[in-house]
Amino acid sequence: MRMADKADVLVIGGGVVGLCAAYFLRRAGRDVTVLTRDPVGAGASAGNAGMIVPSHVVPLAAPGVIAQGLRWLAHPESPFHIKPRADAALARWLFTFRRHCTEAHVARAAPILRDLSLASVALFEEMQNDLGDFGFEQTGLLMLYHTEKGRKENLRAAALAEDAGLAVERLDADAVRALEPGLRTPVGGAVLYRQDGRVAPDRFLHRLAEALRARGVALREGVAVTGFERRGDRLTGARTTAGFVEAESVVIAAGAWSGRLAKAAGVRLPVQPAKGYSLTLPAPHGGPRLPMILTDEKTTVTPMRGRIRFAGTLALAGFDPSVDARRAAPIRRLARRYVPDASEDDLDRAGVWSGFRPCSPDGLPLLGRSPRHANLFFATGHGMMGVTLAPVTGQLLAELLAGSVPSLPLAPLAPERFG
């Protein structure tokens, strides 16, 4: 494959954020080249839970998270795990994360996440009209609980979401079963978030890639960036496994690998890979209709037009792609409950997928211009909300590169905010 020698805007990363960045940059009239080490659809974007979640206004860094995480560490099937290792970057990340686990941070972050998510929902509608059906539906989302602890946590989260202006309904167990007759897990009640929804992530990526190619975007798969050249305060281009690519502007949107690429450009970007698992099976007859999060079990269920996906786990284990059978066990049990005809062989053939979400220490994206390079931009750190926030991220990047005032404030998302 012969590489283009020069790009107007070079986007590094072929996941959902990188492709959305390319989509909105091209729509703004820019000539765009996308480099992706893996084939489109092979990364974290394709195997995620597929939920669009304006309801998630509480960032990952929140009060109680550290204490709960410590309690989970000794449990082999817990949904959270930190792999012990000598890693200075992880230690710095955890220290910064702990500093942000405060009520004051949640109060600051909630309206930011709300505005980003709701803007993305509107853009999903626009993009589906433009690209064709990719499974986006504003179905609502059920946050289910069956313990007293789960009830209290859900009602606190509902009050916060309601204070942020989101549409929230509190349901008792009978109302939940009436709304979702396909429910096969214990329920004491639920919170219904009307503005949430779902998308088929692999179909969304396919539609995006198809449209980008048709509209003149150079989408180069199987090309890894190995370094950068610079002159003064600007990058002149990227060294790759397929040769040097000169670029007027560079966007690093490489998910969990963005930190490594930033380091190659001389910038410290605090992004940790957080491994998650999912399992996808053919949808059962009479199965659930709505996306659901089982908050006591920390697992998710997403019906996807002919398929059903179960997901969970957050493991800070570096770039270890292996599947820990113990931590995948709750997802497999959940799949057996909702797809009772599936045998162990069926589950083994489907396989538990693993991927890395890019997590920032405060639970907010890293979006904006590099503090060191006038023509380098970052779009990463979305954590578990990469698909939800990808469209608005792409739009904000296009506005930023055009030199216009962004439609939402970018200061809270500045890549240099951690010092």
pLDDT tens readout for residues 50-60: 999 999 999 99
Q: What is the CATH number of the domain that holds 376?
A: 3.50.50.60
Q: Domain boundary at 342, 359, 376, which?
A: 359
Tell me which of 45-54, 62-71, 117-126 is least confident.
62-71
- pLDDT for res 78: 82
Residue 38: CB atoms within 10 A of its CB come to 13
* Same-domain pairing of 287 and 329: yes
pLDDT tens digits for range 162-191: 999 999 999 999 999 999 999 999 999 999
Q: How high is the pLDDT of residue 279?
A: 97
CATH number of the structural domain spanning residue 97: 3.30.9.10
Residue 106 lies in a domain: no
Say if residue 288 is in the same domain as residue 188: yes
The answer to whether residue 112 is domain-embedded is no
- pLDDT at residue 1, as a whole number: 40
Mean pLDDT of the chain: 95
Q: Could you tell me if 386 and 403 lie in one domain?
A: yes
Share of the chain above pLDDT 90, in %: 90
pLDDT at 248 over 60: yes
Which pLDDT band, with edges at 50, 70 and 90, does 74 fall under? low
114 lies in a domain?
Answer: no
pLDDT value at residue 68: 81
The pLDDT of 91-96, averaged and rounded, is: 95
CB-based contact 276:40 (threshold 8 Å): no
Tell me if 392 sits within 8 A of 125, measured CB to CB: no
Give a yes or no: residue 81 inside a domain: yes
Looking at the domain assignment, is residue 166 inside a domain?
yes
Q: 69 lies in a domain?
A: yes
Q: Looking at residue 4, what is its pLDDT?
A: 55
Whether residue 338 is predicted with pLDDT greater than 80 in this model: the reply is yes
Instruction: State whether 78 and 157 are in the same domain.
Output: yes
Listed residues 343, 359, 375: the one ending a domain: 359
Contacts of 170 (CB under 8 A, 6+ apart): 155, 158, 189, 190, 191, 192
* Global pTM value: 0.96
The pLDDT, as a whole number, for residue 100 is 97
Residues 311, 400, single domain; the answer is: no
Backbone angles phi, psi at 191, to 5 degrees: -115, 130
C-alpha distances (whole Å) from 274 to each of 24, 51, 299, 331 are 27, 17, 15, 17
Rounded to whole angstroms, the Cα distance separating 91 from 273 reads 13
What's the pLDDT score for residue 287?
94
Q: In this predicted model, what pLDDT tens digit does every residue of 348-365 receive, in sequence order?
A: 999 999 999 999 999 999
293 and 155 both lie in a single domain = yes
Domain boundary among 359, 375, 395: 359
Helices and strands in the chain: count of H runs, count of E runs: 11, 19
349 and 385 belong to one structural domain: no
Are 259 and 390 found together in one domain?
yes
Element housing 216 (H / E):
none
Q: Is the pLDDT of residue 23 over 50?
A: yes
Residue 202 has pLDDT above 90, yes or no: yes
What's the domain range around 75? 54-101+130-197+272-359
Q: Is the pLDDT of residue 413 over 90?
A: yes
Q: Which residue has the tokens 């792409």?
A: 394
Is there a single domain that holds both residue 353 and residue 400?
A: no
- Asked if the structure places residue 107 within a domain, the reply is no
Q: Within a domain: residue 34?
A: yes
DSSP helix/strand/coil, 183 = coil
Instruction: Note whether 326 and 346 are same-domain residues.
Output: yes
More confident residue, 105 or 5: 105
Over residues 53-74, the mean pLDDT reads 87
310-336: pLDDT as tens digits: 999 999 999 999 999 999 999 999 999
| % of residues, the chain, pLDDT over 70 | 99
Are residues 141 and 87 both part of a single domain?
yes
Residues 212 and 219: their CA atoms lie apart, in Å, by 8
Are 224 and 302 contained in the same domain?
no
**Mean pLDDT calculated for residue range 120-143:** 98
Total domain count for the chain? 2
